[in-house]
Each structure stands twice: as C-alpha cells, then as structure tokens.
C-alpha cells in the first residue's frame, strides 16, 4: 500500500468497482440526478433528463429510445449489481441504494464528473 492509503484489499476491489461504474458518463449522470432529486425517479424521467443533457452537450444524434435501451439493458442493471442503486424493472423506477457505505464519495465523484 502507498503511504497514507489505508484499507483492505476488499476495500480496494470495492473502490475499483465504483470507478468502473463511474467510468461511463450516463451512469455518472444517473447518479447526479438521483442525488439531486433524493427520491425514486422513473426511468422516463431519467431518459428525459439525459436526452436534454446530451442535446445541450451537442449530441444531436441521440434519441430517447436509444437512451432508454442503454439504461434498462446495461447501465441500471450494472449499477444495481454494484449496489449503488435499486432498480425496479417492473415499476420502472430507480433510487439510491440505502445504506451504501461510500455514498458521500460516490456522490462527490458523480457530481464532479457529471458534466464531463
């Protein structure tokens, strides 16, 4: 371990997993939205917010359908497996996972990188 860095190997794996989740801009944006709203959010609300954000960023090619497909097939299940969100596919809702021990760190990373 580097000087000043403490923690178990398990902690290191958890941090690696969190960085992998945050590696994609859509997942960062989902976390940003969840932290901002602090409640359950419908997939439709996330799609609309992502669509607006991506169009403001100059991505005119993106469609709501492609955003929805990427969220429900890839991003939301990946985030749920990592224990960061609860994704209810039947109700089409997403919320932050309760008791996430690294919520503050995740929030800070998501907010600092949401617009990148």
* Structural domain for 97, as ranges: 9-113
55: number of CA atoms within 13 Å, CB side?
11
Backbone angles phi, psi at 87, to 5 degrees: -115, 120
The CATH number for 21's domain is 1.10.10.10
Q: What is the mean pLDDT of residues 34-60?
A: 89
Kindly state the percentage of the chain with pLDDT values over 70. Answer: 74
Task: Please tell me which of 20-24, 49-53, 109-113 the model is most confident about, judged by mean pLDDT.
Answer: 49-53
Domain count, the chain: 1
85-99: burial string, b at 16+ Cβ within 10 Å, e else: bebeeeebbbebbee
Whether residue 2 has pLDDT greater than 50:
no
Q: What is the pLDDT of residue 5?
A: 43
Query: Is residue 37 one of the residues assigned to a domain?
Result: yes
Helix (H, G, I), strand (E, B) or coil at 19: helix
What confidence tier does 114 reach under pLDDT thresholds 50, 70, 90?
low
Sheet holding 93-96, edge to edge: 41-42, 93-96, 85-88
Query: Is residue 4 one of the residues assigned to a domain?
Result: no
Torsion sign over Cα 67, 73, 77, 79: negative
């Amino acid at each position: 371990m580097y000087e000043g860095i403490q923690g178990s190997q398990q902690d290191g794996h958890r941090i690696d997993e969190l960085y992998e989740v945050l590696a994609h801009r859509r997942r960062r944006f989902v976390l940003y939205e969840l932290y901002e709203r602090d409640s359950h959010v419908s997939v439709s609300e996330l799609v609309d917010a992502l669509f607006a954000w991506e169009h403001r960023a100059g991505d005119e090619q993106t469609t709501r359908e492609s955003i929805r497909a990427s969220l429900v097939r890839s991003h939301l299940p990946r985030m749920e497996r990592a224990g960061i969100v609860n994704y209810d596919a039947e109700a089409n809702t997403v919320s932050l996972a309760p008791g996430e021990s690294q919520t503050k760190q995740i929030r800070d990373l998501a907010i600092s990188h949401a617009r990148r």
